[in-house]
Amino acid sequence: MRARRELLSPALLLVACGARVPDDEVPVVQVEKRKFVRMVEAEGTLRAVKATPVTVPSDIQWPLRITWLAMDGGVVTRGDVVARFDDLELKIRMANAEADRAVAQARRSKEALLQDAATQERQRATAAARRDLEMTRTFARRDAEIFSRDQIIEGEIDETLQSAKVDHADEARTADRQVARGKLGLIDVEARKANDAIARSEKGLKGLEIRAPHDGVFTAKRNWMGDPIRVGDTVGRSQSIADIALVDAMEAEVFVLEAEAAGLANGKKAEVIIEGRGGAPLKAEVKQIETVAKRRQPKSPTQYFGVILTLPRAEAGGMKPGQRVRARLLLHEEEALVVPRPALFDHEGAWVAYRRDRGGSFLPITVKLGSSTAGLVTITAGLAAGDVVALRDPGKSPAELLRQSSRAGSGR
């Protein structure tokens, strides 16, 4: 008994020594063994198990503005138009590409005319050079008896010069053809670029109208604030703007607070209530849990685990993707001793409860805790069914507890 008193605080020693506290001053509760259920609540929306995304055409490199959308939550059939985009930018790009193609064609025609004129000029120069060479060779001054040595040497130089002119004219004509071919090739590249731009614009114009691939319910995508995509919004290539869902099989996507997710696992039972739909809650089961908690809103520090709940296929009639749901997830269930949280006190790192003995005194008893909820805690050791425990520290009067609470609030 002495060793036990050395471990307890003075207030606990006062109670342990048998200080009698009237029953009417200390609220008490009886420990009982009953069914303990730990459930958490979550909110989310319905979604279809099978859904086809409606995406912006991937071959358009620039943003598009939505000009028309099918009704959110409306039923569509295969082939119905579900989205249209603004075609002004594409038409401007096509007009620019057609202008570039016309300019390239005009430049090619001009270059062809210049090439023909240059070819004809080179041909005349080559013909003149050949004529001069032929005349020089025909009337060459080679007879030493008639012409002086200087005249003979001058004639040989003239022949060499005329021969060089002919060779130069041939090489120049070949070079002109190569240069002209290169210029025409560059112009052809520009023309092909313009043709490709025109083809892309034409394909883009055809893709600005999206049709439903099958029957289903059209559901617009939501942003991080929960607002659906609307007419006038600007979207990028390959962005998903909606889903066309098959509503014969539905599931619920709910979000559980990270602090309440202990014990959450696949196969746990749940109940789902669909807003706007009467009747009993639907039985559900946990199908999938996200491995990492995430924020639902960028500026909020609160994190949630995304949970997918399977719903009965027979109850899918009348459900639509996007409907809000409230769910209760059963995380733990057992027969156990249960006490309210106010009946437990932290003493030097251990949990104690004040049990009333036959004489009416309250003695501190060390207890071990099990599963708990916001208001109830299960006891695995230390108490038995039928024990009466105090709901406040019996060593302190209500006035002292009130002053202590006030001081704690002022400190905070």
- pLDDT tens digits for the chain (412 residues)? 333 333 333 333 333 333 444 545 788 888 888 888 888 889 998 888 888 898 888 877 778 889 889 988 888 899 899 998 888 877 888 888 888 888 888 888 887 888 777 777 777 777 777 777 777 777 777 767 777 777 777 777 877 877 787 777 777 777 777 777 788 778 888 888 888 888 877 777 777 888 898 888 888 887 767 678 888 888 888 888 898 888 788 889 999 988 888 888 888 899 998 887 777 888 899 999 998 988 887 778 889 999 999 988 766 666 788 888 999 988 877 888 888 888 888 888 889 888 888 888 888 889 998 888 778 888 888 888 888 888 887 877 656 555 555 554 454 4
Residues 20 and 125 in one domain: no
Q: Is residue 339 part of a domain?
A: yes
The two structure tokens encoding residue 252: 């619920």
Residue 340 lies in a domain: yes
Domain boundary among 154, 180, 206: 206
Pick from 206, 223, 238: which residue ends a domain?
206
Quote the domain boundaries for residue 382.
Answer: 2-33+334-411
**Entry pTM:** 0.55
Same domain, 6 and 103: no
Question: What total of structural domains would you count in the chain?
Answer: 2
Last residue within a domain, chosen from 206, 231, 262: 206
Q: Are strands 282-289 and 345-347 parallel, antiparallel or unpaired?
A: unpaired
Residues 6+ apart with CB under 8 A from 220: 69, 72, 228, 229, 230, 241, 242
Whether 283 contacts 356, CB under 8 Å: no
DSSP type of residue 315: G
What is the DSSP pairing of strand 64-69 with strand 75-76?
Answer: unpaired
For residue 84, give the 3-state DSSP assignment: strand
